[in-house]
Amino acid sequence: MYYFASDIHLGAGDAATARATEQRFFAWLSDIERDAEAVFLVGDIFDFWFEYRHVVPKGFVRILGKLAQMSDKGIRIVFFTGNHDMWITDYLTRECGIEIHTEPMLTELAGKKLFIAHGDNMNIKGQPMLRLMNTLFRSHTARTLFSWLVHPDLAMSFGHWWSGSSRKSHGRESDHKYLVPLIEYADHYAATHEVDYFVFGHMHIAADITAPHRILFMGDWHTAPNCVVLDDSGTISQKTLD
């Protein structure tokens, strides 16, 4: 079995909300551990993450321990960086055995070809400010200067403020018009590549689009925790969790 989840936003909200989200995510990982061959974490697993050379954000001990335990058991853990946790470097790989991807992936699982991406930096040609922000935030030079010039305490405070502001822009859980850019991207990509399923996060909207291509969007875990499951026969489905 192959499992997919995105937009957990660990650490978001007040202390009680953040702990409840962490507990739900931990319970889900514990549940799927029994039959998972691979787990794909498709971006924004953390509400904010920035790694210094010798410093990482505190917290998330239970989650990191569980992921390390699953990796040690031979379960493949694949982490796609999102717009909230793009500043991951090598810590999760070294300490937890997690495979990190900073770009979309076209892969074959259970005899099906899947295109997997968080979706935050795709089909944004008509949004110059967003393109500028993405270029700046992904700049190695900017990240290096930020790590040299900004104390970790200030960096975390700024990051959580920025993440909260960004997250509020997703208050549109039922408006599927916001999915159009990624649907168009999938249509364009499928014209030149063989793809059975597209799997996206980022939009905080859970949806299963069946035509002209099968596109599954995963919502966020603060409104309706959900995941996508691909079984060994190649059948894919979306699950809403208790």
Look at residue 85 in the predicted model and tell me its pLDDT.
83
Domain that holds residue 114: 2-240
Contact 107, 37 (CB under 8 A): no
Q: Which of 32-41, 80-89, 117-126, 140-149 has the highest mean pLDDT?
A: 32-41
Task: Encode pLDDT of 66-79 as tens digits.
Answer: 999 999 999 999 99
Instruction: State how far the alpha carbon of 9 is from the alpha carbons of 19, 41, 44, 58, 124, in Å.
Output: 11, 11, 6, 15, 23
Residue 174 has pLDDT above 70, yes or no: no
Look at residue 42 in the predicted model and tell me its pLDDT.
96
Strands of the chain (E only): list them: 2-5, 38-42, 76-80, 99-101, 105-109, 112-117, 197-200, 207-209, 214-217, 226-230, 236-240
Confidence label for 196 from pLDDT (cuts 50, 70 and 90): very high
Residue 144 has pLDDT above 90, yes or no: no
Task: Encode pLDDT of 79-136 as tens digits.
Answer: 999 888 878 889 999 999 999 999 999 999 999 999 999 988 776 676 666 555 666 6
Look at residue 157 in the predicted model and tell me its pLDDT.
75
Residue 198 is part of a domain; what is its CATH number?
3.60.21.10
- In the chain, the number of structural domains is 1
Section 210-231 average pLDDT: 91
Placement of tokens 């099906």 in the chain? 112
Which has the higher per-residue pLDDT, 51 or 133?
51
Task: Encode pLDDT of 179-195 as tens digits.
Answer: 888 999 999 999 999 99
Confidence label for 223 from pLDDT (cuts 50, 70 and 90): confident
Residue 22 has pLDDT above 80, yes or no: yes
Residue 140 has pLDDT above 90, yes or no: no
Look at residue 137 in the predicted model and tell me its pLDDT.
65
